Amino acid sequence: MKSRNVHLCRRSTSPITFIREKYGDLDGVERQIEEQLLAANRRLKQHLPCEDVRVLTDLTTLLQAVERYASLGPLGGVTREECAHLVPLLTRLVKSCIAGGFEVVAPEEEGSLSLSDQLLEACTAALSNCDSGVACRTAETQLTITLADLPSPCAVCQTGGTLQVHFGFADYTAGETGARLWAGAVGLSLYLVEHLHELFPTDTVAAPIRVVELGCGPGLASLVLATLLDRHRPLLPPVQLDVTDVSAAVISEVQKSFAERNGPSLAALLPAGDSEMTAPLQANCFLLDFADIPESLAGQYQLLIASDIVYDYTIAKHVPPALVRLLAKGGSAVLCCEQHRDGMNQFVDEINQQYSDTLEVVMARNVTETLSHLEMIHQLCATYCTLLMIRRK
């Protein structure tokens, strides 16, 4: 792959503006929290409740701003160090909330979360985002690929301009590995951009092609593919794209990316009611455990895409049987995965040795050099990835 033209950035810097306008800077934030902590400690010593509920609502607003600020991560211009700096203070605040430093005298509305519990929740969320420094969390992200620079001679790709997709992340605790972006998704997206014409030949007419993404996480590769296919729709055969993951939180987020984040043309790809294919290009987001594939999907797909689903060995061992089951004969899978994961150690050898009747590895390419040239955050650039194409015999 020759792309050197990919840029990832946070879509919104508004949390930074908000903090600046309201508190000056993070030192201002710290001073406010410190002040409220001292007051809470005094109340605790004297066994007094907090008499002014505005103290709690203002502090909750501040903590929600910190949560959003920290969620921008390095892509959004917020360093891990500055967030980590707030961790001891936020930890003290959590302890003070639990000890009762922010109990109020005012009657609470029945059934709703008390103000002190809302404060504790906001503080825990801010602490979580500031602490481990995972570079994604709730912030929405934009990937831009400059198509004009692409080396491909294909008519489909030579329309110039840029391709942009917006995506978000599932709640970290619910989505786990699907709640952040992995380098393989960027590698796979670039491959799709550069090789669209080979994967969807324009000279063959018109049997519909079914495509599935497994373990989609934020769904970057599917969003890129859907955007490309949508642009070139009249030139291409009809396509049904099934975007799948085992996690409900992840699927609901990727559904949102199709429905709300990428404009009306991607939203229109989602089916209105039943999943029967009626439009020339359609996208369905649904739960699919690739370790337990229903009969109805067996042999249905001409193309399967996936990034970073071959990571730990327990999960990786389900991948070859899933390819065998899902792909139609002659169909292809394109996978882009981090090389150093346990599951990748023996992956190609295992396919060659144990699945030679049904699968053939037709390409295994190191894409580390490509990724290292991209304008992405350091952890993604430094990742070693292998791009595999596997054909169903």
Give the residues lining the site for ligand SAM (CB under 6 A).
Answer: 177-178, 181-182, 184-185, 214-218, 245-247, 250, 288-291, 307-309, 311, 315, 318
Give which of 316, 313, 352, 312 is closest to 335, Cα–Cα.
316
Spatial contact of 304 and 332, defined as CB atoms under 8 Å apart: yes
Give the shortest CB-27-to-ligand SAM separation in angstroms.
35
For ligand SAM, the closer of residues 16 and 220 by Cβ is 220
Give the shortest CB-85-to-ligand SAM separation in angstroms.
29
For ligand SAM, the closer of residues 90 and 143 by Cβ is 143
The backbone torsions φ and ψ at residue 306, rounded to the nearest 5 degrees and listed phi first, read -165, 145
Give the shortest CB-100-to-ligand SAM separation in angstroms.
39
For ligand SAM, the closer of residues 243 and 359 by Cβ is 243
Give the shortest CB-306-to-ligand SAM separation in angstroms.
6
Give which of 235, 233, 225 is closest to 155, Cα–Cα.
235
Give the shortest CB-319-to-ligand SAM separation in angstroms.
9
Give the shortest CB-385-to-ligand SAM separation in angstroms.
10
Give the shortest CB-238-to-ligand SAM separation in angstroms.
25
Spatial contact of 205 and 256, defined as CB atoms under 8 Å apart: no
For ligand SAM, the closer of residues 309 and 371 by Cβ is 309
For ligand SAM, the closer of residues 223 and 315 by Cβ is 315
For ligand SAM, the closer of residues 199 and 336 by Cβ is 336
Interhelix angle 53-71/87-99, rounded to 10 degrees, is 140
Spatial contact of 26 and 86, defined as CB atoms under 8 Å apart: yes
For ligand SAM, the closer of residues 118 and 368 by Cβ is 368
Give the shortest CB-150-to-ligand SAM separation in angstroms.
22
For ligand SAM, the closer of residues 291 and 363 by Cβ is 291
Give the shortest CB-178-to-ligand SAM separation in angstroms.
2
Give the shortest CB-134-to-ligand SAM separation in angstroms.
12
- Which residue type is seen at 326? L
For ligand SAM, the closer of residues 23 and 301 by Cβ is 301
For ligand SAM, the closer of residues 68 and 318 by Cβ is 318
